[in-house]
Chains A and B, each alone.
Chain A
């Protein structure tokens, strides 16, 4: 059994038995070897269910929103991406830091469940070591810059407007409007999504390319300065729309316009589009 898993069970058992938390969220084994879905454990005798392997792909933090007024504390296993997601949720006023015990795990990357190679979202990860934690498991590593994660965007930017439009039209023609991308996303934490406000008329409920594009592009804009680059949206999209290319285009533009900003790396620095400053660029005025 791997060292991280042993430690996870030990820590979870301690936190639960001491009553410091009344549940922990980690991962367990699914039916197939390449499936390690999230696990919710409230009983210290059940910590053996917890596992750590290369398929622990799902983010844990978003689950904190399921019952926001929960009385007890949650012990949350958090890799680098989950830690940034926690900061995201704290900063957005969605969860309180004091209600979570963060058990950081220094992550070395997960595998794609189909190709069995390093998962795309992990190849592009800049902060594998949690940026916020109470306890830490594993050996921390320094953040890595990974400028190559903007390669696909740079290539796309070279194309003519017509080509870009065709590319995204073709992608969103595939969209089945399952909203998995939104529902898994820690930055998508609006109490009511614009996509669900049918009566207001932002978005029609019709499933077709035009409305799919309105959904996909609006969602990307809504989280432009708040996407923590966890890559979960692209991972869960059942039809393989390269959503990270959209997100990264916006992240790249924001970095160009407002300087070096990495969402969720801390919970203090205000997101560029959520703050007001007199020296903001006004190129459109």
Chain B
């Protein structure tokens, strides 16, 4: 197997920066996220997943779609802003790698390809680092993900202690590995993978949820929810957005930006009707989307077990407790 000594890691990354915008896990000002190589902060290759998910590299928080000018109440020029750079997410964890697969399903399949997402996705390379330790809140294994790695990454690396095992898993991954040729050594070492201590039983959960739409558990679970956007904005797979315009004099832009189904105004329609008027409907929608609707439509869970919402929900609404409760309630239906 190819082994990249940790002492060579920086050089390996430096070789990519000419061609790519390299995003690495960084800790800055108390927040860990994927930042451009060389920006402020401390590299966090050894920590488990970052607090902020990597989704904004494909689906930015705010993205200008097009710009326009207006003269005499006529639109005079429309410029589409679809800028995609060659990017590498270096050090993505298996749960987040799976989240990109979920986003791919949403933005690229079923006959509707989102061009803005598509152009970024085409130019994205992923280097996944398998987890050697799990956080108490990690439950990716229960969601069918292997903490050791993800087959969807272009390159799979595994921490062996003094170096990383490197495996190219795609043509583009192979090309990168070629660039590292003189940095790699050969060896045989055992790959150690983390095992999650938090476990849930997902077997049959989508089917169970289909019978619990009107159940009182949603009222109960949602009472403490404060309807903030923490869980959705930290979730690597949540992808709700809104579109709006920003005008300045005789020119303007149309942008899209993240939105959250947990916000009280999210589902309010023109005229005032709201099909999800209270937090129990909103929370039900979020969890059903994660655990039922998405698997019905795309055959996979929209929760990848990253644990971010478990850590940061201000009032500890916990999707794993919900899954346990669903099993319990479904047994009584």
Chain A positions 225 through 247: 1 when the CB is less than 8 Å from some CB of chain B, otherwise 0? 00000000001101110000000
Q: B320 on the interface (CB 8 Å rule)? A: yes
Q: B108 on the interface (CB 8 Å rule)? A: no
Q: A273 on the interface (CB 8 Å rule)? A: no
CA distance A42 to B310 in the complex (A): 26
Q: Are B62 and A206 in contact (CB under 8 A)?
A: yes
Contact (A196, B61) CB under 8 Å given A204-B244, A206-B257, A238-B230: no
CA distance A30 to B91 in the complex (A): 31
Chain A positions 60 through 94: 1 when the CB is less than 8 Å from some CB of chain B, otherwise 0? 00110010000000000000000000000000000
Q: Are B228 and A178 in contact (CB under 8 A)?
A: yes
Q: B215 on the interface (CB 8 Å rule)? A: no
Chain B positions 32 through 64: 1 when the CB is less than 8 Å from some CB of chain A, otherwise 0? 000000000000000000011000000001100
Interface CB pairs A-B, < 8 A, 19: A30-B321, A31-B310, A31-B316, A31-B318, A32-B136, A37-B315, A38-B224, A38-B315, A39-B224, A40-B224, A178-B229, A180-B229, A184-B228, A196-B263, A204-B244, A206-B255, A207-B61, A236-B228, A240-B31
B interface residues with partner A (beta carbon < 8 Å): 29-31, 51-52, 61-62, 136-137, 220, 223-224, 226-230, 233-234, 242, 244, 246, 255, 257-260, 263-265, 279, 310, 312, 314-318, 320-321
Q: Are B61 and A208 in contact (CB under 8 A)?
A: yes
Q: A159 on the interface (CB 8 Å rule)? A: no
CA distance A196 to B61 in the complex (A): 18
CA distance A204 to B228 in the complex (A): 18
Contact (A207, B315) CB under 8 Å given A31-B320, A178-B230: no
Tell me the dominant secondary structure on chain A's binding face: loop
A176 touches which of B52, B255, B259, B318 (Cβ 8 Å): B52
Interface positions of A from 154 to 194, Cβ below 8 Å from B: 170-171, 174, 176-180, 183-184
Minimum Cβ distance to chain B for residue A200 (Å): 13
Q: Are A206 and B320 in contact (CB under 8 A)?
A: no
Q: Are A208 and B62 in contact (CB under 8 A)?
A: yes
A206 (CB) vs chain B CBs: closest residue: B62
Residues of B near A208 (CB, < 8 A) are 61-62
Q: A35 on the interface (CB 8 Å rule)? A: yes
CA distance A206 to B229 in the complex (A): 14
A179 touches which of B61, B229, B246 (Cβ 8 Å): B229
B52 (CB) vs chain A CBs: closest residue: A176
Minimum Cβ distance to chain B for residue A240 (Å): 4
Q: Are A183 and B316 in contact (CB under 8 A)?
A: no
Residues of A near B257 (CB, < 8 A) are 205-207
Residues of A near B265 (CB, < 8 A) are 196
Q: A198 on the interface (CB 8 Å rule)? A: yes
CA distance A122 to B100 in the complex (A): 41
CA distance A66 to B253 in the complex (A): 37
B29, B242, B321 interface centre (most CB from chain A within 10 Å): B29
Q: Are A30 and B258 in contact (CB under 8 A)?
A: no
Q: A267 on the interface (CB 8 Å rule)? A: no
Residues of B near A184 (CB, < 8 A) are 226, 228, 314
Residues of B near A39 (CB, < 8 A) are 224
Residues of B near A31 (CB, < 8 A) are 310, 316, 318, 320-321
Q: A58 on the interface (CB 8 Å rule)? A: yes
Minimum Cβ distance to chain A for residue B309 (Å): 10
Residues of A near B230 (CB, < 8 A) are 176, 178, 180, 236, 238
Minimum Cβ distance to chain B for residue A85 (Å): 14
Minimum Cβ distance to chain A for residue B327 (Å): 15
Q: Are A205 and B242 in contact (CB under 8 A)?
A: yes
B228, B264, B314 interface centre (most CB from chain A within 10 Å): B314
Minimum Cβ distance to chain B for residue A273 (Å): 26
Residues of A near B246 (CB, < 8 A) are 204, 206
| 8 new A-B contacts at CB < 8 Å, known A170-B29, A236-B230, A238-B233 | A31-B316, A38-B223, A38-B315, A39-B224, A178-B233, A180-B226, A184-B226, A206-B244
Q: Are A183 and B315 in contact (CB under 8 A)?
A: no
CA distance A187 to B35 in the complex (A): 35
B229 (CB) vs chain A CBs: closest residue: A178
Contact (A235, B314) CB under 8 Å given A32-B136, A176-B229, A178-B229: yes
CA distance A239 to B310 in the complex (A): 15
Minimum Cβ distance to chain B for residue A270 (Å): 28
Q: Are A179 and B228 in contact (CB under 8 A)?
A: yes
Q: Are A183 and B31 in contact (CB under 8 A)?
A: no
A196 (CB) vs chain B CBs: closest residue: B265
Top 7 nearest A-B pairs by Cβ distance?
A: A236-B314, A180-B228, A207-B61, A178-B229, A30-B316, A37-B316, A183-B226
